[in-house]
Amino acid sequence: MQLEKTIERAILIGLYTESGEIAAEVAERSLDELQELAEAAGATVVGRALQHRQSADSATFIGKGKLEEAKAAAIELDASLLIFDDELTGSQIRNIEGQSNLKVVDRTFLILDIFAQRAKSREGKLQVELAQQQYRLSRLIGLGHALSRLGGGIGTRGPGESQLESDRRHINRRLNTLKQALKEVALRRQQTRQQRQSNEILTIAVVGYTNAGKSTLLNILTQADLLTLDQVFATLDPAARRLELPDQQPVILVDTVGFIRKLPHQLVDAFRSTLEEVTQADAILQVIDCSDPQADVQRDVVEQLLNELGAAGKPRLTVLNKIDRLGSFERGGLTLFSGRDQTIQISARTGEGIPDLIAAISKLAAESFIPVSLLLPYAKTGWVSRIEQQGKVDHVDYREDGIAVEAHVRVALYKALLQDQLLISNDKR
Ligand SMILES: Nc1nc2c(ncn2[C@@H]2O[C@H](COP(=O)(O)OP(=O)(O)OP(=O)(O)O)[C@@H](O)[C@H]2O)c(=O)[nH]1
Ligand SMILES: [Mg+2]
């Protein structure tokens, strides 16, 4: 949007409280990721500082000495922006800005800013603005100074500056409007989903850390043309694509927004209806970039979010993507990953392992059928063709007392049969 105009020189600042090498390493990698986020938002990173401290300073987050160091470094490196790797309170932002005379943003702010740049659909834009306004509301005091002083640049995209300076009541009014508009869009999304469900097609949500290769995988599986980029948050809007399995049975794969550690809770809330694609899916296809040194951390982040969404218990396939980037020795180490779930090693780029994945999806689809025995009165003959279309009929017997059918059906049809009292229990077979 305004990338060229807003190149700001930034210094990254992280803080970790646990001791030990692992904690330091995790904090360093988190800063690497913050750098990616900063660059995606249009900043140039010129320096970074990591502090180990027992706890964050309530006034300035990092200690006074460290802040002085950062200020000196900013002067030397001609930086105008400090980016913190954790969420700051409004008063922390105000204090740090006051003491350093630099613009201050935090990780949450940055992620919201990237989302604001990338959002394309009406729903996406509404969701991002909702999250941004909520963030602003909670930091109204802290942000006023920096943003009115600087005009333009990271964090000022999206709703626009005039709103930032307006009062709480104004933001609250805007929040209500947004929520109302989102409710309407969400309703439409729900209707499309229900239509899909009543069509009895198995739906699988493709989830994973941002940049894991979800969209690339969907493209290779379904010959789709979804945007794939080597950058965080290429996908914001869920997209559903149909995959015909070798037995001609269709399944729907849904591409979703990528997860990231320290994902702002405002975003999770605002993206509720988008994320419902995950909670409403019949199964989950989790994509892990196994070539990333932080793959295990990323997997844990995804696991935690799936838990929060109440989707962790769904049938799951886990793919270890990007194996083309690994040597044979590293591939051997991948067995460490297997455990709870079935894992399949693939490369969405070269196509390696894709046939195995399709076989696994077919197996999952087959298992999602419930075996039923029915005795249909002749007045309900219509059910036979409905089951033929939407399920698998194994055997039909036109008897004197009705039509006896042995079949496999999906949950929705099973429920309909149950409601119509057409199922016969096992002992009556
Ligand atoms: N080497 C290699 N690169 C891959 C593979 N799969 C995806 N990529 C690359 O990884 C980058 C991210 O791919 P995407 O498909 O956009 O990832 P995503 O998970 O959809 O990411 P978001 O939508 O941003 O959450 C792109 O540059 C892809 O070309 C793979 O199997 N091997
Ligand atoms: Mg994507």
Average pLDDT value for residue range 362-381? 88
In order of start, what are the domains of the chain with their CATH numbers? Answer: 4-168 (3.40.50.11060), 200-367 (3.40.50.300), 370-428 (3.30.70.240)
In 48-121, which residue ranges form alpha helices assigned H by DSSP? 64-77, 90-100, 107-118
Interstrand relation of 250-255 and 239-244 (parallel, antiparallel or unpaired) = antiparallel
Which segment of 90-104, 142-156, 281-295, 362-376 scores lowest on mean pLDDT?
142-156
Which of 134, 314, 317 is CA-nearest to residue 221? 317
Ligand approaching nearest to the C-alpha of 230: 1
Return mean pLDDT, the chain.
86
Q: Is the pLDDT at 151 greater than 50, yes or no?
A: no
Q: What pLDDT digit, counting tens, does each position of 300-333 carry?
A: 999 999 999 899 888 899 999 999 999 887 887 7
- Coil, strand, or helix at residue 40? helix
Q: What pLDDT shows up at residue 371? A: 85
Q: What pLDDT shows up at residue 236? A: 85
CA of 157 to the centre of ligand 1 (A): 26
Atom 9 in ligand 1: residue holding the nearest Cα:
213
CA of 191 to the centre of ligand 1 (A): 30
Q: Is the pLDDT at 429 greater than 80, yes or no?
A: no
Query: Does residue 247 line the site of ligand 1, with CB under 6 A?
Result: no
Model pTM score: 0.81
Kindly give the number of the ligand 1 atom that is closest to the alpha carbon of 219.
15
CA of 220 to the centre of ligand 2 (A): 13
Bigger pLDDT: 151 or 176? 176
Kindly give the number of the ligand 1 atom that is closest to the alpha carbon of 228.
16
Average pLDDT value for residue range 219-236? 89
CA of 258 to the centre of ligand 1 (A): 11
Average pLDDT value for residue range 45-50? 95
Q: What pLDDT shows up at residue 164? A: 52
Query: Does residue 95 line the site of ligand 1, with CB under 6 A?
Result: no
Which of 283, 214, 202, 278 is CA-nearest to residue 244? 202
What percentage of residues in the chain have a pLDDT greater than 70? 88
CA of 240 to the centre of ligand 2 (A): 12
Q: What is the spatial distance between Cα 312 and Cα 331, in angstroms, rounded to a whole number?
A: 26
Q: What pLDDT shows up at residue 4? A: 43
CA of 411 to the centre of ligand 2 (A): 29
Q: What pLDDT shows up at residue 150? A: 46
Query: Does residue 259 line the site of ligand 1, with CB under 6 A?
Result: no
Q: What is the spatial distance between Cα 277 and Cα 197, in angstroms, rounded to a whole number?
A: 12
Query: Does residue 325 line the site of ligand 1, with CB under 6 A?
Result: yes
Query: Does residue 213 line the site of ligand 1, with CB under 6 A?
Result: yes
Tally of CA atoms within 13 A in the half-sphere of 158 that contains its CB: 29
Atom 32 in ligand 1: residue holding the nearest Cα:
322
